[in-house]
Structure formats: C-alpha cells, structure tokens
Amino acid sequence: MTAPLRREAIIAQASALPHRIAIVTDAWTPQVNGVVRTLTTTANELRARGHEVLVVAPDRFRSLPCPTYPEIRLALASRSRVAGLLAAFAPEAIHIATEGPLGLVARSLCMARGVPFTTAYHTQFPAYVARRTGLPERLLWRYIRWFHLPAARIMVATPSIEGELAARGLVKAHRWSRGVDLAQFTPRAAPPPEFARLERPIQLYVGRVAVEKNIEAFLNARRPGSKVVVGDGPALAALKARFPGTLFLGRREGSALAGCYAGADVFVFPSRTDTFGLVIVEALACGTPVAAFPVAGPADIVTEKSGALSEDLDRAIDAALFCEPADCAARGAEFGWAGATDQFLAGLVDLPFETTGLRGLP
C-alpha cells in the first residue's frame, strides 16, 4: 500500500510532474455526481497551475443512454477516434478515471503500445451495478480486478477502499483525497427560506436521488423533526409519492446548496456504495454534523466530534445532533482541492513514456 505523502514532499516533486495530462472518463457533464465534480474541479485546478489537460469524455462522441440510468450517456467511441485524440495531444501521462466504454478503449490502446496509465476507483462499482441489474457482485469484482490490474497505480480516496482493493489483489493503490470549496461552503451560508417553517431538527440529504443511494433508509428513519432532500434523479418521482411528508427541494448549487447544509441540524448520508462522499465534507465545512452507516467513505471522514456512525441510522442521527458546529467546520476545513490535486499529480509521477508510442495507434 502507498503511504500518504507529506505535502512538502509532493510540492518538492512538482518540477518532475507531467504537464500534458489526458483524462479519459465516462462520467462528465451534464451528469451531476461526485465523480464528475471531482474530475471537473481537478481539471480546472491543473489548468490553473499551467498544466495542459485533455478530457476525453462522452461529450465528444455520439452516445446512448445507459440502461436503467438514462441520465448517464455511454459513448459510441471508435478505437481510432480515441487513438487520434490521444496521439494529437501527445500526453505525458494518461489517467483512466472510469471503467466504462471510453475507459475500456483507452485501456486497450495503452496496453497495445506498452504505455503506462493510472486508473481510479471512484465508486463501489460491483455493489452499484448489482443493485441496479441483479448481477452477482462476485462476477463484477472479477471485471474490476481485470480492468485495474494492469494500471501503474490505482487512485483511491480513502484507506478503507485501499484496504478493500488490496484484499482483492489490487495492491498498487495511491491516495487521492477530495476537497471542498471552503470559500463557498461555510457555516455563514444563508439557509433557504423554506427552512423557516420546518420543525427542528432538520435532517438533510443531498445527492443523486437514485436507488443505489439508499435514500429510503433515511426517509424511513423514525427521528422526529423534518426531513429534506436536495437533488434530482431517476427515483425522485417515486420517493415523492411514497414520502409526502418530506420536503424535496430539487437540485441546488453554489451558495444555495451551502445554505441548505448550513441551515440543517444534521446531514444524513445513507449510501453504502460511495468510496468517499463529497457531500459529507461539504456538510462538515458548513458546520453540520454527519450521521451515516459505518462503511467506507463515512468511516474515513467522520470523527467522534463531527458526527456519528451506526448500523442503526436513528441512533447515528441522535448522536450526531450533540456535535458542536465548530468541530464539524474544523474537520471540513481539513479537505481542500489544492491538496487533493497535489496528490493526483503525485500519482502521475514515475509514469514517463515516449509520446511516440502513441503515434500510429489503430
């Protein structure tokens, strides 16, 4: 396993880092999720530092809606088209962010010419797909292991995920944490006017409204008070019909989203399939404690002073309400995009290759 790098050591390596970076991803705008936010923010951070970044994403190709999840587009990308984009850019490093069609094409191209590449394990893919399709997780783990095994490094957000992959034979992990915009997500953010009429405590969920997020566990919790859901997704209409007492605010962004966090008494994160949970650190940065299951992601972020974890979500909510907002905000402030981008760049170190290896790819 890769030990966490000191920030000083990361900065000292900066002169040796690649400056032409290709990121291949099946998750990109207009999708709204943690993976997209991580990749778009990282690309922006890299460009602000003077790096050249090529993003090979579905918006460059014709695409089809993903079965059971039409908001996700599956790129119809030919091998020659992806090869042409990479060859023209002549990257000094290639990062394959997802295990979908574009990721498969890029992986195949790199392996055909012996070009090293990194990957990332952003989502508990086997559990996620099994929940949507009914396929057994063991078969999906076989695919994950096959996909990531040739990577020079596999970027993971937390120690829990690093350990889980190592137990499955994927040992070339490199820590790549996540961040939060601390100028925007702050306890001083103004709550939405809808909160003024709600009974306390206000219990909040933010994120995709989809089956794999396990939102029903939150909405079925028995803790008195008010429940609020912020977000959009394929399960929204069904949940609105089943839980008429819940306030569904739809999608919120920027300061409006920060106000939802800051105005809530507790943020509830019921997902069991995330590898990190950007919304967790956003809530903490706004001074709001977190209640969650003791699974990868929350278990790596939430401390005794910033929230509570339990298999009984009601108990976690009750305990989290005793946390001090200042302690929560202090924990959230530990996660910044600058440091996360340092880690990403450090993960690309030791991946030099001759760009001529990309020329003439079929």
C-beta separation of 1 from 166 below 8 A: yes
User: Where is 74: in which H helix or E strand?
Assistant: strand 69-75
* DSSP-derived pairing of the beta strands 69-75 and 63-66: antiparallel
Residues contacting 80, CB < 8 A, separation 6+: 361, 362
pLDDT of residue 351: 47
User: Residue 163 burial by CB count (10 A; 0-12/13-18/19+): exposed, middle or buried?
Assistant: middle
Reading the block at residue 133, the tokens are 């399709």
pLDDT of residue 357: 52
215 phi and psi, to 5 degrees?
Answer: -65, -25
- Please tell me the distance from the alpha carbon of residue 210 to that of residue 197, in angstroms, as a whole number: 27
Collapsed DSSP state (helix, strand, coil) of residue 292: strand
Q: How many CB atoms lie within 10 A of CB 88?
A: 10
The region, left, alpha or beta by phi > 0 then psi within -120 to 50, assigned to residue 281 is alpha
C-beta separation of 151 from 172 below 8 A: yes
Domains identified in the chain and CATH numbers = 7-179+338-358 (3.40.50.2000), 193-334 (3.40.50.2000)
H helices of the chain, in order, are 7-12, 34-48, 79-89, 101-113, 125-133, 137-148, 159-167, 215-219, 236-242, 254-263, 278-285, 298-301, 313-320, 325-332, 337-348
pLDDT of residue 133: 72
On average, the pLDDT of the chain sits at 90
Residues contacting 49, CB < 8 A, separation 6+: 341
pLDDT of residue 72: 75
- Please tell me the distance from the alpha carbon of residue 346 to that of residue 10, in angstroms, as a whole number: 6
Q: Please identify every stretch of the chain with a pLDDT value under 50, giving residue numbers as ranges.
A: 1-5, 10-12, 14-15, 350-351, 353, 355-356, 360
Residues contacting 286, CB < 8 A, separation 6+: 185, 186, 187, 189, 258, 261, 262, 328, 329, 332
pLDDT one-digit tens code per residue, 228-276: 999 999 999 999 999 999 999 999 999 999 999 999 999 999 999 898 9
User: Residue 20 burial by CB count (10 A; 0-12/13-18/19+): exposed, middle or buried?
Assistant: middle
Collapsed DSSP state (helix, strand, coil) of residue 134: coil
pLDDT one-digit tens code per residue, 33-89: 889 999 999 999 999 999 999 999 999 998 887 776 677 777 888 999 999 999 999
In the chain the first and final C-alpha atoms are separated, in Å, by: 35
